[in-house]
Amino acid sequence: MNRDEIEGKAKEYKGKVKQTVGDLADDPQLQDEGVADEVEGKTQGAIGTAKRKVGETIEDIGEAIKK
């Protein structure tokens, strides 16, 4: 996992916690913030995954060229 994947997961979980607290406290603004944080975290995680996969592909191509 790279930094974007880790930070994305952290934001995703933070958003889920905010949503739960917003539900319990009957605070729609906090719940909405939680939804936004969760989406932001999922997006950042997906970007991190894409970066990692591109890097792995480049490494594989490099290895194939060396052969």
Q: What is the pLDDT at residue 26?
A: 97
pTM reported for the whole predicted model: 0.84
Task: Report yes or no: 45 and 8 within 8 Å, Cβ to Cβ.
Answer: yes
Q: What is the pLDDT at residue 67?
A: 77
- Closest by Cα among 33, 30, 29, 38 to 8: 38
Q: What is the pLDDT at residue 66?
A: 86
Write down the mean pLDDT value for the chain: 96
What whole-number distance in Å separates Cα of residue 35 and Cα of residue 60? 37
Q: What is the pLDDT of residues 22-50, one digit of tens each?
A: 999 999 999 999 999 999 999 999 999 99
Domain ranges of the chain: 3-66
